[in-house]
Structure 1
Amino acid sequence: MSALPTLSEVTQIRAARRTVAGPEWEDENGHVNVLHFYGFHSHAADDELTRLGVDDDYRASRGCGVFSVEHHLRFFDEVRIGEEVSAHLRWLERADKVFHAVSVLVNHTTGRVANTLEVVEAHVDLTTRRARSIPDDLAARIDRELLVHSGLTWQVPLNGSMGVRARP
């Protein structure tokens, strides 16, 4: 496993979402429950896609959206109630119809990476419910993010079995 990035490294990427873990997130073990991490990562990814133009207008005018294909949630440190966290989406790769990214959740209170959610997402025609090519304008916006993120000097431990693959 590669070393975890530092707080200062991860925060080179804008925070897609930031909050303080509230009491409603606590589980019986006295820390944040996995469901809240998953939901926070998911909302942060939605925020990032909205920033890139995949919003209600995009879905209505183009009839397309993004569906999850694969997820892997990995834990490195716990988060307790009252601690401040943020999620930062790092773009990894893109193909014609899919992209691969990882959301990194950092705990600002402890200064450590708490967990990651690695994803493969498909661009989908909402009528046929099948993967469809990412339009050129959206692909260009994703590619700009990929270019910036490819220049980062730090890595995130990845699952190893996920990514953009050609279909057999």
Structure 2
Amino acid sequence: MKDLLPDLCDCYAQDIRFLPLMLRDYGCHTPFWGQIVTLRCFEDNSLVRNLLSTDGRGKVLFIDGHGSCRRALLGDQLALLAIENNWQGIIVHGAIRDVATLAQLSLGVKALAACPIKTDKRQMGEHNVVLSIADTLIYPNDYIYADLNGIILSSTALDVSALKTES
């Protein structure tokens, strides 16, 4: 089912929050969904590597890079690490790089833009914090659903298997 979000919005209108943020799709895996793991960092992806080195089964990493597109918070090496550790997807409120490679990988990836410049490594950032992006609160351990239509959030897991239509 490629157009998952319209069906989820119709079925669970009272349970979802829409994230009104225009992000581009860079990964070849869509739709994707899972429990949210949050990270806030600015032009430093040291903690991104640390998190993606852990078991990401059923999880999506949401990185708040403060909307900066001057440094890439995700590239091909980190994406391969995410796949190796079973992450469902990565959403970046900031920039990524290696976009041609990311487009070939079985991982959901959304970001504001691409930038070829790597980040500094200062081991700075905050993990497992509430993020505020586009006037929307993103809570760790909530659930996120993403496809080409956008992103929705829910405090509980939505039953994707209950949707029968092929869109």
What is the TM-score when the length of structure 2 is the normalising length?
A: 0.25
| Structure ranking higher in helix proportion | 1
Structure with higher RCO (Cα < 8 A, 6+ apart): 2
- Between structure 1 and structure 2, the one with the greater Rg is 1
